Amino acid sequence: MRDRILELVTEALEKNTSLFLIDLSITEDLKIKVVIDGDHGVSLSDCIDVSRAVEHQLDRDESDFSLEVTSAGATEPLVNARQYTKNIGRKLKVKTNTGEIVEGILSDAQSDTIKLSWKAREKKPVGKGKITVQKEKILGHEEIIEAKVMITFN
């Protein structure tokens, strides 16, 4: 059943190429949950369209199921390269596979790497006091255990 649902979701997303699949889960009692995201966000009508495209192709007489189509939450970790691209300019908190935690503005996102930029106060090379320096770090997707957008309220 999973393959059939994945096929239906893929077909539905092909109709709106700005949308992409984040997660598909099916419990033993056939509770189907589809999580989608979009290059420009996800609207309620996007979720409804995907839900209808999937639901209308499944037979409730054959198997009783429930279907939920939802967008990726703002506090959920980024799991797809396209999610990084759409969040350029936002502040991320990234945990790496070495245990390092890096917080910074996502300044670039490629298919296999991201670049974070931030300002830090460091000791002057000569004399007393501190100076503000611009820092950046490039991380490969394989180095990232978890990356979350940090929501700030100004």
Residue entry with tokens 């670039």: 108
Q: What is the dihedral of CA 17, 146, 142, 69, to 10 degrees?
A: -30
Tally of domains within the chain:
2
Report which of residues 154 and 45 the model is more confident about. Answer: 45
pLDDT in tens, 40-84: 999 999 999 999 999 999 887 788 899 999 999 888 999 999 999
Which residues form the domain of 113?
Answer: 81-149
| CB-facing half-sphere around the CA of 149: CA atoms within 13 A | 19
pLDDT at 151: 87
Question: Can you give the CATH number for the domain in which 42 is found?
Answer: 3.30.300.70
Please name which of 103, 108, 72 lies closest in space to residue 87, comparing C-alpha atoms. Answer: 108
Tell me the pLDDT band of 105, cut-offs 50, 70 and 90.
Answer: very high
Tell me, yes or no, whether 61 lies in a domain.
yes
pLDDT in tens, 2-49: 899 999 999 999 999 999 999 999 999 999 999 999 999 999 999 999
Q: For the residues of 49-109, what is the DSSP string, one character each?
A: HHHHHHHTTS-TTT---EEEEEEPPTTSPP-SHHHHHHTTTSEEEEEETTS-EEEEEEEEE
> Does the pLDDT value for residue 154 go beyond 80?
no
pLDDT at 74: 82
**Pair (66, 90) in one structural domain:** no
